[in-house]
Structure 1
Amino acid sequence: MAGRVAGKVALVTGAARGQGRADAVRLAAEGADVVVVDVCGPLPGVDYASATPADLDETVRLVEQQGRRAVAGQADVRDLDALRSVVDGAVGQLGRLDVVVANAGICIPRAWHRITPEIFRDTLDVNVAGAWNTIMVGAPHLVAAGGGSVIVISSAAGLKVQPFMVPYTASKWAVRGMAKAFAAELAQHSIRVNSVHPTGMATGMGSGAMQAALGEAMAENPRPGAMFTNMLPVEITAPEDVAETVLFLASDESRFITAHEIAPDAGVTEY
């Protein structure tokens, strides 16, 4: 089925690469124009390389390659005013907003006793406050459009305990609840809000440096490592796999689905 989101405009945060880029390109391939936002600069405390302006430019190129328009903006999702300025300006150019994908996030795995106050604060600021800011600047445009879909990218760690990442797990449970709370209030405007809960993905965040940090924590306490095992015989998934779920929730195919958790997680949360 082609054109599943034809005529819609979507906002995707953390769009310079990885999951955000995959979401933006998949939505564009099905007919959406896309507002792509990323900080394109140093992320606090992470073990992996941060995205660059060139990465965001590449996302724009890939969206335009699908024959759709892309409006890019650099903003830190922790900065409500900066994010609002970018989104309002982009909506002014594209004419409307129908879909919000709150994707930007960080993960800093550590054994519990090696987590610093800074790691805890930064993770909650980006993953939770950043998601709240994204919805707060996007939802008024969805109200003006007469409805739409908000998609909050959580994690398998937002459905099940995952060890060696206390701040990340706390943040992903928080945004799961946030999605439900927004769904209850935004329903009167025909806006649906759902959360997506992937298993481990092959992205920059899940790169060798982060895996090394996870391995260090696991070496101190190997037993909980089994909690990362997927039920299906796959070690890791691709961001393009999760983008299919995002597309479904952005499309009218899911028009009666709201306040739910959708888990393209290879069964990890049931194992």
Structure 2
Amino acid sequence: MAANIVATAGARIVAREADVRDRSALKTALAEGIAELGRLDIVVANAGIAPMMGEDAWQDVLDVNLTGVYHTVDVAMRPLIKQGDGGSIVLTSSVVGLVGMGAPIAGSIGYTASKHGVVGLMRAYANFLAPYRIRVNSIHPAGVDTPMIDNDFTRSWLDGVAQQQMGGPDLTNALPVETLDTEDIANAVLWLVSDAARYVTGVALPVDAGFVNKR
């Protein structure tokens, strides 16, 4: 879909499928993109999963949401440093990376742990890469209208917790909206990577309709 949007806009794109758990695959995909387009300026680590149940849910979510982000930055920072003229990296976390939330099941706790871990990566890389004029920030969406949220299982679970059944926490936003649109997140990322945010680094930015502030 993304490739079609870019092509329709008349721009160039190198689209490759790679598993973020596979560092070598990421490195190869990035090298092909740089070879075709010439350079790298912006990195957005956005791959993520939210498994709730299953024996492997804990490890799966950490492997994708945390190790995958590490692989992405580790592979991408090298050409950015070599180019010598800065860059911008945005890591997608979540509102649960800023507050203590999660159900006592492997996937949910793993999701919370992974998203908190992304903040740690962001802060460490922001300090390490600052001398190279490479900015690193994280973005923290509340629920976004994507298939990860808009499915029967997730909506049933969220509805139950949001109604505070059995003493569950309130998962509603401060502003009277149920979910955010993908464009809301994209616009925030666009600002973070733009010259308008040229001195913004090491920041965990909620885009959440007031969710975190309400806690």
2:7 is aligned, of 51, 64, 86, to 64
1:107 is aligned, of 36, 45, 50, to 50
Q: Mark the CA change 1:121 to 1:220 in structure 2 (over 3 Å): closer, same or farther.
A: farther
Secondary structure at the residue paired with 1:192? strand
Q: Could you tell me how far apart the structure 1 residues matched to 2:20 and 2:160 are?
A: 29
Identical columns (%): 38
Q: Which residue of 2 aligns with 1:223?
A: 167
* Pair 1:122 & 2:65 matched: no
Q: Which residue of 2 aligns with 1:163?
A: 102
* Pair 1:83 & 2:26 matched: yes
Q: Which residue of 1 aligns with 2:36?
A: 93
2:122 is aligned, of 179, 192, 201, to 179
Q: Is the 8 A contact 1:163 1:225 kept in 2?
A: no
Q: Is the 8 A contact 2:61 2:110 kept in 1?
A: yes
Q: Could you tell me how far apart the structure 2 residues matched to 1:265 and 1:169 are?
A: 16
Using the size of structure 2 for normalisation, the TM-score is 0.91
Q: Is the 8 A contact 2:93 2:141 kept in 1?
A: yes
Q: Is the 8 A contact 2:139 2:205 kept in 1?
A: yes
Q: Which residue of 2 aligns with 1:17?
A: none
Q: Could you tell me how far apart the structure 2 residues matched to 1:202 and 1:231 are?
A: 17
Q: Could you tell me how far apart the structure 2 residues matched to 1:179 and 1:74 are?
A: 24
* Pair 1:150 & 2:89 matched: yes
Q: Which residue of 1 aligns with 2:70?
A: 132
Q: How is 1:184-203 mapped onto 2 (pairs within 5 angstroms)?
A: 184-203=127-146
The amino acid across from 2:57 in the alignment is: I
Aligned length: 208
The amino acid across from 2:167 in the alignment is: R
Q: Is the 8 A contact 1:197 1:261 kept in 2?
A: yes
Q: Could you tell me how far apart the structure 2 residues matched to 1:134 and 1:108 are?
A: 21
Q: Mark the CA change 1:209 to 1:91 in structure 2 (over 3 Å): closer, same or farther.
A: farther
CA RMSD of aligned residues (A): 1.8
Secondary structure at the residue paired with 2:14? strand
Note the alpha carbon deviations across 1:11-52, whole angstroms, 9 max, x for none: xxxxxxxxxxxxxxxxxxxxxxxxxxxxxxxxxxxxxxxxxx
Using the size of structure 1 for normalisation, the TM-score is 0.73
Secondary structure at the residue paired with 2:136? strand
Secondary structure at the residue paired with 1:74? coil
Q: Could you tell me how far apart the structure 2 residues matched to 1:131 and 1:264 are?
A: 19
Secondary structure at the residue paired with 1:269? helix
Please report how far the alpha carbon of residue 221 of structure 1 lies from its aligned counterpart in structure 2 after TM superposition.
5.6
